A and B are shown apart, each in its own frame.
Chain A
C-alpha cells in the first residue's frame, strides 16, 4: 500500500513544520493503538520544541510519557517494545545527545531482523532535532546523519517542508523497520504552508524536485533545501536553470532521481551542513562517479560544513553552515569549468 493514495482528511491547514510533525504524531496515535511516544520532556511540557505539545493530555500518560534522562535507556527500551509488538516513537532531545544510545543502535537496532533471519524486527522511529542556524548552545547543532546512514538496517529520513514532514513521519511510523527521523531546528518554524489534514504518507526512498532546471543539479536535504532553493531562484533570475533535488530520505536513497537529473544537466553541486570528511554527501558523489561519469561536464563540487565541531561561537556560526552565497559560488564554479 503506498499511501499517498490513502488520504483520510479532506481539507488543509496552515502549519509550520513542527506543527505538522505534531499533527502526524496525533494522527498516528489516533489510528494505531500500538503507537506510543516517549523521551525527555515530551509529556507535560510537550517537548523542548513543542513537537509533542498537547499529546499527553489527549492520549494519556500510558501512551505519551516522559522517561528518565538516559538515551541508551530510551532507545534500548524502544527496541524491546518494538520486538514485542508496539510501534514506539522515541524523541531524542537533540541529535547531539543521541550518542549514549549508539551502543543500542549499532549493536541491535539495525541488526535484529538480520540476526534472527526475519523472526524479530524493530518497527521503531527515533526523532531528533538536528543542525544549526539558530544559535543553539554548544553540542546542540550536530548533524550526525552520516553516522546513522552507515548503520546497516536503519533508514534515515530528513524532511524539508511541513507537508513532507507529516507524510514522511507517518510513513516512517508505519514502516516495518527502524527509521531515524531528523528534523532541522532551523526549519521548525521558519516557514508555513498548507498541509493536508488527516492521514497521508509520503513514501520513503522517493526524492523530490523542488525546482526544475537544465543547467545544474543541486542535491541536498533537510535544512539545506531552503538555502539551495534560494540560490536556485537567484540563478534563475540570471537565466540559469538549477534543478534542486531534495533527497528526503538518505536510506533508502532515490538514486534514479539523482542520476536522471545529473544526466540531464551534466553538472552537480552537493550541499550539506555536516562536516566535510566522511559525510553522506560523498555517497552521492560516489554514485555520480560510478553511474553518470559520462554525463559530467564539470567535476562534482561539494558545499559542506567544516572538519571541525559545529562552532558554538554565535558570531561566526553562519560562516560554518552553508548559505545561499556559497551555493551560488559553487553553481558558478561548475558552470565556468
Chain B
C-alpha cells in the first residue's frame, strides 16, 4: 500500500533518479531547460541566505527543496501569461523572468525592488496569504475579455488553501470559466502548523472536485512530472477548457524564513527523508544515467549561473538607498494636497 501522501500522485522520475513513466519524458532540450532552471533557482536561494547573513538582504523566506515545484510550473508559461507569486516563490518569479537584481532589491527592501519592470506580467510577491487567488481569476478573465488567449498562474501554500479567498477563487474560476492555473504547493508546513493540523483532507487536489474543475496531484520534487501536468493545464486553459488546480507535493526542508527556528515545533527526521528526494539531485542522476549530463557540463553551468548571479548583485548594489520623501510617492496618480504637504514636510526635515 502506498502512503496516503503519495496516493494518486504522478511521478515520472522517482526519488532515486529512475524513470517510472518513460512514455511521459520530454525531449532532451526540455530536460536540459528544466535542469538549468532548477539549478538557477537553487543558486539564488543558497546565495540569498548568505547575503542575508552578511546584512545585504532582509528577511527572506527560502524555497530550497521546492525548485521543481516552482521552476517546473513557471516554465510552462510564456511572457504573455500572468504570474502571481507569494513570498515563497522567488524561484518561480526568477524562472519566469523577473530579473535577479530586482529580486535582490526586493528582499533588500529597496523601493527599486518594488517597482515592477514594465512589460513583464508578474505581480509583486504577495504577503497577505491567499489574496492573490481572486486576482488571478480577474487577470485571466481580463485577458479573455480583451480577446487574448493568455492564462494566469497563481501560487499558494497548504496553509493558504484554508483561507476563504482560495475557495472563492476556485469557485469563481470554475463558474466563469477563467483560464487560470492554480498551483498549490503542499510543502507540509504553514510556519509551525503541519498540513495534517491544517485540514483533515489528505489529497488537497481533490478540493477541485467541489468546484467542478480538474484537480491533479503531482510529485512536487519531480520537475519532469510537474512540468508535464502544468503544460497540460496551461494548454487546456488557453484552449478555453477552464481552470485547473495542481497540488505539488513537496516539503519545506528550510525554516519558514531566515529568522525562524524550526526546532521550536518540529524535529528534522522528516526533513532528512525529504532531502533524500531532492529534486535537483534526482534529475541530475537521471540525466547522468542517460548520458546527457556529466561533471564538465555541471561545472560550466555552475560558472554560468554564478556569473549571472554575481553580476545581478553588483547591479543591485548600484541602486541608491531611498530618500524619506519617497515614502509618500506613488500613493495616487496625482498626489492629494495633503500628500503634497507631507512630502514638503519630509523634504524640510530630512532633505533631498
Contact = CB atoms under 8 A, between A and B. Distances in A.
Interface of A: 40-41, 43-46, 48, 66, 68-73, 96-97, 99-100, 135-140, 276-277, 306-309, 311-316, 319-320, 326
B128 interface: yes
A135 B57 CA distance: 12
Contact of A135 (B58, B193, B199): B58
B3 interface: no
B129 A97 contact: yes
Interface of B: 58-59, 87, 109-111, 114, 127-129, 159-160, 162-165, 190-193, 197-199, 264-265, 321-324, 326-328, 331, 336, 338-339, 342, 346, 349-350
Contacts of A73: 162, 164
Nearest to A53: B264
Given A40-B191, A72-B164, A319-B327, A307 B350 contact: no
B163 A313 contact: no
Given A100-B164, A137-B58, A311 B193 contact: no
28 contacts: A45-B264, A66-B197, A68-B198, A69-B159, A70-B162, A72-B163, A73-B164, A97-B129, A100-B128, A100-B163, A100-B165, A135-B58, A137-B59, A137-B109, A139-B128, A276-B342, A306-B328, A307-B338, A307-B342, A308-B327, A308-B342, A311-B327, A312-B114, A313-B109, A313-B326, A315-B322, A319-B324, A326-B349
A30 B326 CA distance: 50
Contact of B193 (A46, A69, A96, A320): A69
B58 A307 contact: no
Nearest to A46: B264
Contact of B328 (A66, A100, A139, A307): A307
Nearest to B335: A307
A308 B327 CA distance: 7
Given A69-B193, A100-B163, A319 B58 contact: no
Nearest to B342: A306
Contacts of A44: 192, 264-265
Contact of A69 (B129, B327, B349, B350): B129
Contact of A319 (B111, B164, B336, B350): B350
A40 B193 CA distance: 8
B50 to A, nearest CB: 19
Given A137-B58, A316-B326, A69 B190 contact: yes
Contacts of A309: 331
Given A137-B59, A314-B109, A315-B321, A307 B327 contact: no
A276 to B, nearest CB: 7
Contacts of B191: 40-41, 45, 48
A306 B331 CA distance: 11
A45 to B, nearest CB: 4
A277 B338 contact: yes
Contact of A313 (B111, B197, B198, B265): B111
Contacts of A138: 127
Given A96-B128, A99-B128, A66 B192 contact: yes
A315 B109 CA distance: 8
A99 B338 CA distance: 26
Contacts of A45: 191-192, 264-265
Given A137-B59, A316-B323, A326-B349, 17 more contacts: A40-B190, A43-B192, A43-B193, A45-B265, A68-B199, A70-B163, A72-B163, A97-B128, A99-B128, A100-B163, A135-B58, A139-B128, A276-B342, A311-B327, A315-B321, A319-B327, A319-B349
Nearest to A310: B327
Contacts of B160: 69
Pairs A-B, 4 closest by C-beta atoms: A45-B192, A68-B162, A319-B324, A69-B159
A309 B114 CA distance: 13
Contacts of A97: 128-129
Tell me which of A319, A320, A326 has the highest count of chain B C-beta atoms within 10 A of its own C-beta: A319
B295 to A, nearest CB: 40
Contacts of B163: 69-72, 100
Contacts of B350: 319
Tell me which of B127, B159, B165, B338 has the highest count of chain A C-beta atoms within 10 A of its own C-beta: B127
Nearest to B164: A72
B44 to A, nearest CB: 18
A18 B109 CA distance: 27
A41 B338 CA distance: 40
Tell me which of B114, B327, B336, B339 has the highest count of chain A C-beta atoms within 10 A of its own C-beta: B327
